[in-house]
Amino acid sequence: MTSRQQRRASQRHRQPADIERSGLPVLPRANRWIVLALAVATVLAYVPALDAPFVIDDEGTIGASSEWKSLPGSPTAGRPLVMATLAANFAANRALGVDQRPDPDGPNKAIGYRLVNLLLHLLAGALLFGVVRRAMRERTIPEDWRALADPVAGVVCALWLLHPIQSEVINYIVQRSEALASICYLATLYASQRAWHATPTARLRWYALAVVACVLGMLSKEIVISAPLAVMLYDRAFRLPSWRALRRPGNGRGWLYVALWSACLVTFAVFEAGARGESTGFNAGMTWYGYLYTQCWAIAHYLRLAVWPNALSIDYGYRTIRGARGIPGLVLLCAFGAATLVAWTRAERFGWFAFLGSMFFMLLAPSSSVVPVLLEVAAERRVYLALAVVLVLAVVGVEWIRRRVAARVSPRWLTAGATGIVVALAIATAARSRTYASTEALWRSAVHAVPENSRARGQLGWALFRLPTPKLAEAESAFVRALAQDSACPGKCLEYGTLLSNGGRFAEAMPLLVRHLAWDHGNVLAARLLALDLMKLGDYHRAIPYLEEVVQRVPKESHFVMLGVAYLSAGRRDEAIATFRLMATFDVGSAELQQLSRRLEDGANHPEALSNLQEFAFWMARGWM
């Protein structure tokens, strides 16, 4: 008998006798070729978006991360591990000579970032497979189900890796925070699983890995705050006979609980305090109950997309849900929550369901409960790891139904059906990734999916305006409709004002820019564009205060030139000369800057040179539009 035949015989010998007596066939076991095919399919599904443009705040966040900086409320604020990985990507691109200029230049700069995101996604899938497989082999799981550990875990992993709702985490580069946090969450659970039956020496190593993974997860995203509780609930659901046993679980496990909670809470306190104050909180005009009701709608929407992902959106806006739209989700979540609580009362039999239900709520709670996330009321990336819970319940439910309703249906047919679903999901994910390759297509899909989202319409207008051949009429129509839906300015006023200024419609642009500055005080882009429009209309006196603020915030050459010329045009020659002289002090080693300063100062002393100086100033500001 060959070694392969011996292994197969050994596997058959280990199958529970209950399965043999019942006649229930076992799903085929996964092997290395299936794993390889799954990895290849996942990579191919995301190839269309590898060199796609940056999305939303990718460019600004990556640029800041390359200098080890993050602004409060940005995707890297309070998440130093995410910032470190982005900085490493930036350094790797620079070492390889990749052009990293802002879009539309640097067409290949995003490839390295998305490849890292894809590798993180695959690693998360591998850990998910390990956690699900080991959970299904626990003592409280019936023997006939334990034999299905590998197939069930494999199907769940395949569906999770290739589901198109996951595409935002890979293609929206800075949202790798979700993948990093999920890896650390799963690693914490996996290390805890391995430690239970390990030798004392190996157990300490697994405990140390769990604590390190928990800390790294908290440096990635706040969802890991519940990882210590997840470890404790897992032990109660699958290993311990009562809640009281959690006080003395044995094997030094109580110290693991203490270490996990201590590391998690200390890390949270250090890196979260104030880091995301501008994007989350109760004091910015959004009530906790309004946000909670909106999450009832959002979570139900995620579940619908898990079943039929036909309306994916990169943006859901910042307006809470009103009316009856949240009621179905509220009823569903209340029912699921009640079922989870009831399952905990019969943990010996239904502990697996109780654990899954608890995991679903714990994973979504940081972003989808009562603490308002002010900039976006919903985001598909939030269900990234929680989707695994839904898929486990779905796969187990299908097998349970087959056993009771269609027991004669061979599991091979189920395997074929699962394969077909996986292939369909891979195709859908590839199509969704292709959408990211075009900023216009991405925002058109967002408008189609959420028509009431005015911010998406504004972003579509901006995308149309920035095309190599701008679609100006359609862009303006998108801006007008966005403002008609919502008169607030995020994503509309500055962009629409830029379009109008670019078309020479300065008087129409100015009210929009003023409104944007009223909403976003100190916005340099809006202030300098408004000053430029005023100067184009000859109103230099009104332009000066905006330029003074711009120079104070961003002291660069073109800003000094514009301010100095504005002073000169308003008859304030001494202030103009002082401005030109001050410009030279910001880089005393630059001979060109010193020469420019002297020439401008000389021109300020000759009234006949004013028109030339104005033309030069407008030339310096040519990129402001």
Pick from 170, 52, 118, 104: which is nearest to 442 by CA? 52
Collapsed DSSP state (helix, strand, coil) of residue 373 = strand
My answer on whether 314 and 426 are in the same domain is: yes
Residues 553 and 448 in one domain: no
The last residue of one of the domains, among 433, 466, 487, is 433
Are the beta carbons of 16 and 146 closer than 8 angstroms?
Answer: yes
Residue 183 lies in a domain: yes
| Pairwise CA distance, residues 30 & 150, whole Å | 7
Residues 291, 148 share a domain:
yes
Domain that holds residue 549: 540-625
* 173 shares a domain with 143: yes
Query: Are 418 and 464 part of one and the same domain?
Result: no
Q: What amino acid is encoded at 533 in this protein?
A: D
Cα 155 vs. chain centroid, distance in angstroms? 25
Cα–Cα distance between 439 and 475 in angstroms, integer? 13
CATH number of the domain within which 504 lies: 1.25.40.10
Domain match, 469 and 551 both: no
Q: Cα separation of 582 and 574, whole Å? A: 12
Domain termination residue (choose one: 433, 457, 474): 433
User: How confident is the prediction for the chain on average, in pLDDT?
Assistant: 88
Q: Place 84 in a pLDDT band, splitting at 50, 70 and 90.
A: very high
State the Cα–Cα distance between residues 463 and 530, nearest whole angstrom.
21
Domain closes at, from 467, 491, 521: 521
- Residue 49 within a domain: yes
Same domain, 88 and 138: yes
> What's the pLDDT tens digit per position in 277-330?
556 666 667 888 999 999 999 999 999 999 999 999 999 988 888 899 999 999
4 belongs to a structural domain: no
Tell me which amino acid residue 357 is.
G
pTM higher than 0.95: no
Reported as half-sphere exposure (CB side, CA atoms, 13 A), residue 453 has a value of: 25
Considering the domain architecture, whether residues 331 and 457 belong to the same structural domain is answered as no
Residue 16 belongs to some domain of the structure: no
Model pLDDT, residue 346: 94
Instruction: Look at residue 502 and tell me if it is in a domain.
Output: yes
The helix, strand and coil proportions of the chain, stated in percent and rounded to the nearest 5, come to: 70, 0, 30
Asked if residue 159 has pLDDT above 50, the reply is yes
Could you tell me if 184 and 222 are in contact, meaning their C-beta atoms sit under 8 angstroms apart? Answer: no
Q: Is residue 10 part of a domain?
A: no
CB-CB contact of 68 with 184 (8 Å): no
Is residue 358 in some structural domain?
yes
Q: Which residue has the tokens 């109760």?
A: 282
68 and 201 share one domain: yes
| Tokens coding 145 | 């189900």
The model's confidence at residue 114, banded by pLDDT at 50, 70 and 90, is: very high
Residue 446 has pLDDT above 80, yes or no: yes
Q: How far apart are CA 338 and CA 348, in angstroms?
A: 18
Query: What percentage of the chain exceeds 70 in pLDDT?
Result: 92
Q: Are 503 and 534 in contact (CB under 8 A)?
A: no
Number of domains into which the chain is organized? 3
Q: What distances in angstroms separate CA 279 from CA 55, 73, 231, 284, 413, one per listed residue?
A: 19, 5, 30, 9, 48
3-class state of residue 516 by DSSP: helix
Residues 6+ apart with CB under 8 A from 508: 500
What count of Cα atoms within 13 Å lies in the side-chain half-sphere of residue 540?
A: 16
Distances (CA, A) of 482 to 451, 454, 495, 625: 10, 5, 11, 21
Mean pLDDT computed over 102-117: 91
Which of 522 and 350 is assigned the larger pLDDT?
350
The residue length of the chain stands at: 625
In a domain, 530, yes or no: no
Mean pLDDT of 569-586: 86
What token pair was written down for 432?
Answer: 């969704």
Residue 283 has a pLDDT of 62
CA distance 493 to 234: 50
Same-domain status, 126 and 265: yes
pLDDT, tens digit, 9 for 90 and up, residues 41-75: 999 999 999 999 999 888 888 988 888 887 767 78
Residues 475 and 578 in one domain: no
**330 and 390 assigned to the same domain:** yes
